[in-house]
Structure 1
Amino acid sequence: MLDTNLWRYLSDFGGFERVMSVAQENRVAISVAPGTVFEIRELKDDATRKAMLRLAADPRLNRLMPEAYSEAEDFKSEVRRLRPKWLRENPNMKEVNRLKYSWTRVKGGFWERARLDIAPPVTDESMRGATEVDAARREAIALREIVKTQYKPQEAEIPLTSVYYAPPDDSWAHPVEYWRAGACYIWTSELMYYTSPYREWIDGEVDHIEMLWDSQSFKSFWYYEVKAENMKRQWLRGAFEYLQRWYKVTSGTPGDSLLASHLAEVDSVLSADKNFVRFAERCHKEAPFKTATAIKIAAGAATADEICAALNDIGKASLSD
């Protein structure tokens, strides 16, 4: 998987077709995440945006499903295992299947609209999405300020499996793993919105009203019962959000934590962002499950050359395995 910044350098300096050729020779699939398209769509310069979208939405790439879909699939699996009473007696998959088709269809769906730079229709969800990106950036800056005043620098090196959070509610006697608190907060917040993508992906099978009404059980589900290996994407997002607290916040910070959720789906991630690579490598070494290795790629005119070299190395490693 290529980080968003690499698509910018491939667009500016060329080399995309060479990269695709080397990938094919090594039988390596290059993946692209929807979050990359969302970030590119925020670019104001028409020529730059269009050029990047033509590359990042190329039909030869392995197009990943959105993180909300994959996280929802993980969530539903744990609900079936731990809380079958939350499942609907008569599931209705019509809307979910319609949404999924829009993501997987060859023509007329999300990816073709992205490649042609056709803006998505203005809906309640799209308007809320833009607002939440700004809110997420403000939250990242606020967390950075809290860290500078309340935490010691050495805490950045605590093993990710040893980072805990004490819920403010006294009814919860024991601290919980950091990622669990974040996941509980995100899901509780998202389920409040009718237009939430999380709601859209689960509503056909899971009764969200039953879950929220059963609030203590919902918290227990997240705080103590779900397994990290079954919620890999939530663990990865939580790890990135924790590590991001110790570094300068940029406009791409929220996008990085979304992209991190895909590290459970690919073997390697390539990026020109040293902090993204640093965080991904921490996750690769410390996560209680397998995640992608991270490779630092030079920014600028050398980007295509370095991606090709990395693809050759990945191909050789795959053959040796």
Structure 2
Amino acid sequence: MRLILDTNLWSDIGDEAVAPEFDDLVRQRGLEILVPPSILVEVCRLSVPELRDPIIRALAIGPRRRLATEAESESAELVAEVRRLRPAWMRKTPDTAKVHSLNAFWTKKVWRTALADSQRIYNYEVGSRRLHEDLMKDQKDQRKQLLETNFAMRPLTALEVREGTAGFGREAEGWPSEPVEAWRMSCYELFWHQLVTIAGRSVLTKEDATFADWVGAYVDLRALRHARSDFLRFWAYEVDLASMPRNWIRWAVNLLQATEKVTGGNPSDEQHSSYLVDADYFLTADRRYAAILEAVREDAPFEMAKTIVVAGDRERSVLGRICLALGTVDSGDTGHVVDC
């Protein structure tokens, strides 16, 4: 059974210094623990080293499988569709050295750095705070527009937008006259912004060009830059939803987050959601987040992890609470029931 634990549970494991006992449980029950780098980065944003370092050690040491960063996996979905639908946009020679370097950083170097000197990552994240604040502002604006229009959100697969629809971003050049699935237009705007706008100015602004790095290792971004209308058609009509589960999940989570009070943890929670296609179960003590993820899972046209709520009562040990939550898993569905 493949599990991902939310940051709140790793925090309790670190705070209670029970990582060795947790590792014993993992081995005894044959569990596979997946650790996304987005959770490591969220932990590294804690300002007090004495609090964050034990959590980092719990995350990084033991029977864990470190996942590739969500930017790599989401970019890979786009690259695969470009290769299938627009082979002329592909680079003649992929920059495999860049891919290897980026992957090594996110699966190895960032973890080593966090273990050796987490303050370095903390300092970097503090310096990148503006991006976090911009994401929250965008979501607050989206929430305001959704409340004003009383927009019906479910089912997510039925949401469509047309030119000028409030709450769904800017009008694009050549926007289709007929309604288009909302997730498609959102992804079009996101990737055009990342691959063209940010990529074109990042040398001067020092903005994070992560998506341009990943996609640009395979796709000729110069060719894409001169094909805006075709890139719009590519997203609006041709991309296969079944080939874009991570990108669809992030869109859906971001949208449903805007139906609730916007909190500082929303950007990180949206990042974590990208990994739910990798696991069987996602464990969290955040009931609000769990409700959003389950709503997304109910509407998703593909398989993704089921979310299990772990009690947040700190009077009971975190291992006891995890065991209790896993004990509710239907043994006929998974073959594993944890008995602690």
Matched residues in 2 for 1:313 and 1:29: separation?
18
Matched residues in 2 for 1:104 and 1:276: separation?
26
Name the counterpart of 2:211.
198
Matched residues in 2 for 1:258 and 1:311: separation?
24
The match for 2:186 among 179, 182, 189 is 182
Q: CA deviation at 1:120?
A: 4.6
1:103 maps to a residue whose letter is W
Of stretches 310-319 and 40-49 in structure 1, the one that deviates more from structure 2 is 310-319
Q: Which runs of 5+ in 2 are unaligned?
A: 165-170, 200-207
**Equivalences for residues 75-154 of structure 1 within 5 A:** 75-105=78-108, 109-120=109-120, 129-151=128-150
**Equivalences for residues 198-277 of structure 1 within 5 A:** 198-277=211-290
1:318 matched to 2:314? The reply is: no
Q: CA deviation at 1:122?
A: 10
Q: CA deviation at 1:198?
A: 0.9
1:160 maps to a residue whose letter is L
- Alpha-carbon contact 1:13-1:301 (below 8 Å) kept: no
Aligned length: 314
Matched residues in 1 for 2:71 and 2:18: separation?
32
Q: CA deviation at 1:280?
A: 1.4
Of stretches 112-121 and 247-256 in structure 1, the one that deviates more from structure 2 is 112-121
2:210 maps to a residue whose letter is P
1:319 maps to a residue whose letter is G
Secondary structure of the 1:62 match is strand
Q: 1:315 to 1:51 in 2, by over 3 A?
A: farther
Secondary structure of the 2:279 match is coil
Q: 1:128 to 1:216 in 2, by over 3 A?
A: farther
Name the structure, 1 or 2, with higher relative contact order (CA <8 Å, separation 6+): 1
Secondary structure of the 2:308 match is strand
- Alpha-carbon contact 2:44-2:121 (below 8 Å) kept: no
The match for 1:287 among 300, 309, 318 is 300
2:159 maps to a residue whose letter is V
What's the CA shift string for 1:219-253, capped at 9, x where partnerless? 11112211111000111011101111110111101
Q: What is the root-mean-square deviation in Å for CA atoms of aligned residues?
A: 2.5
Normalised by the size of structure 2, how large is the TM-score? 0.85
Q: 1:250 to 1:43 in 2, by over 3 A?
A: same
Matched residues in 2 for 1:304 and 1:248: separation?
30
Q: CA deviation at 1:196?
A: 0.9
The match for 1:25 among 14, 25, 28 is 28
1:2 matched to 2:17? The reply is: no
Q: CA deviation at 1:49?
A: 1.5
Matched residues in 2 for 1:217 and 1:254: separation?
30
What's the CA shift string for 1:175-222, capped at 9, x where partnerless? 222221221111111113344111111222211121121001111111
Q: Please list every run of at least 4 consecutive aligned residues from structure 1 whose deviation after the TM superposition is greater than 6 angstroms.
A: 125-128
Report % sequence identity. Answer: 28
Name the counterpart of 2:323.
308
Q: CA deviation at 1:11?
A: 2.3
Q: CA deviation at 1:149?
A: 2.2
Name the counterpart of 2:63.
60
Matched residues in 2 for 1:90 and 1:295: separation?
44
Q: CA deviation at 1:36?
A: 1.0
- Alpha-carbon contact 1:58-1:115 (below 8 Å) kept: no
Secondary structure of the 2:335 match is helix
Q: CA deviation at 1:293?
A: 0.3
Q: Which runs of 5+ in 1 are unaligned?
A: none
Normalised by the size of structure 1, how large is the TM-score? 0.89
Matched residues in 1 for 2:249 and 2:20: separation?
32
Matched residues in 2 for 1:171 and 1:222: separation?
11
